[in-house]
């Protein structure tokens, strides 16, 4: 299981600049210029689980190059968000770890959320992507 501290270390190892400021509307954002990738986080009122998911999602944008601008068509934005979300669940809830949790009797969404220290909607998304969709 990754922690937000491990996610921040991942940023350092992958030359992604990480900084903090108030972002009350969305909690986090990422962007790139010609040479660098950046993540801005608002840790204000987030739980550890929320902080970790936000950071892993933004890292997903950076690692997949899934960036868009505010005037991008919804289809493009949706595609970029999907890529970032897939990267996030593969980092925080790898399929093999989820299967291991099932084998250990951890099957309820709330139990899985506690086990992986992520919000319940992140567990639901991972289960949908790994088992229902494919």
- The 10 Å Cβ neighbour count of residue 116 is 24
In the predicted model, what is the mean pLDDT of residues 1-10?
A: 82
- pLDDT single digits (tens) 36-79: 999 999 978 888 899 999 999 999 999 999 999 888 888 899 99
The fold for domain 4-132 equals Arc Repressor Mutant, subunit A (1.10.10)
pLDDT, residue 8, reads: 87
Report pLDDT digits (tens) over 105-118.
Answer: 999 999 999 999 99
pLDDT at 134: 58
pLDDT of residue 55: 94
- Tell me the per-residue pLDDT of 88-97, one tens digit each, with 9 for 90 and over: 999 999 999 9
Residue 34, exposed/middle/buried by CB under 10 A (0-12, 13-18, 19+)?
exposed
């Amino acid at each position: 299981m990754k922690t937000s501290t491990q996610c921040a270390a991942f940023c350092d190892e992958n030359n992604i600049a990480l900084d903090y400021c108030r972002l009350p509307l969305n909690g986090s954002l990422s962007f790139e210029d010609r040479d660098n990738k950046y993540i801005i986080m608002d840790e204000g009122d987030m739980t550890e689980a929320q902080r970790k998911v936000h950071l892993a999602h933004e890292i997903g944008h950076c690692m997949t190059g899934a960036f868009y601008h505010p005037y991008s068509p919804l289809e493009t934005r949706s595609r970029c968000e999907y890529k970032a979300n897939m990267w996030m669940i593969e980092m925080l809830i790898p399929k093999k770890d989820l299967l291991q949790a099932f084998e250990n009797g951890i099957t309820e969404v709330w139990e899985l959320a506690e086990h992986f220290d992520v919000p319940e909607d992140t567990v639901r998304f991972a289960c949908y992507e790994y088992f229902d969709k494919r």
